[in-house]
Chain A
Amino acid sequence: MTASLDAYVMLSAALFAIGFFGVLVRRNTLVIYMCLELMLVAATLALVAFSRFNGTEDGDVFVFFILTVAAAEVAVGLAIIVALFRARQTVQVDQLDSLKH
């Protein structure tokens, strides 16, 4: 006996919404990046739940690839943030507006 699929999908949607809210509302690039990771993990949770409740394995294998891509993405993104900090001495998004005008 386990919780229903609805519960898992709603939980993953709530996690995704929280992450999305953080991305839109925070100013620090690193915190925005952490919220992006939160959104990725929420999608992962939905995939695993669907995979378990449908008896297929594709979702589980896909999560494997998502984890790999996320690791590569974090490495490249943090390198970009460090390079940005070296060039501009800030990681606040409202001060990184050279492309705005």
Chain B
Amino acid sequence: MFHLAFSVLSVFTLAFALGVVLSKNAVNGAMCLLLCLAGVAGLFLLLHAYLLAFVLLLVYAGAVVALFLFIIMLLDMQGGRTWRLKAPSAVAAFIAGALLIVGLNLLAVRGMLGAGPPMGHTVGSSLKLYAYQLFTTYLLPVQVMGFLLLVAMLGVIVLSRRNAGGEDAP
């Protein structure tokens, strides 16, 4: 039953990821990204990472995609070709993707990924353990992340000031 859920969710996710890459209209691409993220959140649920699935939906599907849609509406992006099919970049993309997948396949065939049954309950399934980890082992990274968010906020405010480039000072 879980295999069925995994197959359905992975096909769903990959299909909408292809939709992001292939759709001509940027709005359609953002919608495909939204559905792809929903599929990934479903996969997180299958992996018992309930909190992460919730946070992914909240932060990515909620905030980030909404921000993308907002910017797409703000900028007028009609015209211009969709694809940049120069031979080097297309060939590089194919070769890199093929190398990644073939290499991982070799690892998997040799059993070097250590694929056993999943181990008991991980911290992802328990909110209390999660919070304990965040506030003991990972306390410094949490502080650094807070500082990073502050810096990002200041940066965005400075960047989006009307006369940031000096081209139209009031």
Interface residues of A (CB under 8 A from B): 1-11, 13-22, 24-28, 30-31, 33-35, 37-38, 41, 44-45, 48-49, 51-57, 60-61, 63-65, 67-76, 78-83, 85-87, 90-95
Q: Are B83 and A27 in contact (CB under 8 A)?
A: yes
0/1 interface trace, chain B 134-145, chain A, CB 8 Å (1 if under) = 100110010001
Q: Are A2 and B101 in contact (CB under 8 A)?
A: no
Residue of A1, A19, A28, A83 contacting most chain B CB atoms (<10 Å)? A28
Chain A, interface SS category: helix
0/1 interface trace, chain B 62-77, chain A, CB 8 Å (1 if under) = 0110011001101101
Q: Are B21 and A45 in contact (CB under 8 A)?
A: no
Q: Are B156 and A5 in contact (CB under 8 A)?
A: no
Considering the chains assembled together, what is the distance between the CA atoms of A8 and B159 in angstroms?
39
Q: Are B133 and A61 in contact (CB under 8 A)?
A: yes
Considering the chains assembled together, what is the distance between the CA atoms of A17 and B44 in angstroms?
20
Q: Are B14 and A11 in contact (CB under 8 A)?
A: yes
We find that the number of chain B residues with CB closer than 8 angstroms to chain A is: 86
Of A6, A31, A76, the contact of B26 (CB 8 Å cutoff): A31
Interface residues of B (CB under 8 A from A): 1-3, 6, 10, 13-14, 17-18, 20-21, 26, 29-30, 33, 36-37, 40, 43-44, 46-49, 52, 55-56, 59-60, 63-64, 67-68, 71-72, 74-75, 77, 80-85, 89-90, 92-94, 96-97, 100-101, 104-105, 108, 113-116, 118-120, 122-124, 129-130, 133-134, 137-138, 141, 145, 148-149, 151-153, 155-156, 159-160, 164-165, 167
With A65-B141, A74-B64 known as contacts, the answer to whether A13 contacts B52 (CB < 8 A) is no
| Residues of A with C-beta under 8 A to B14 | 11, 14-15, 18
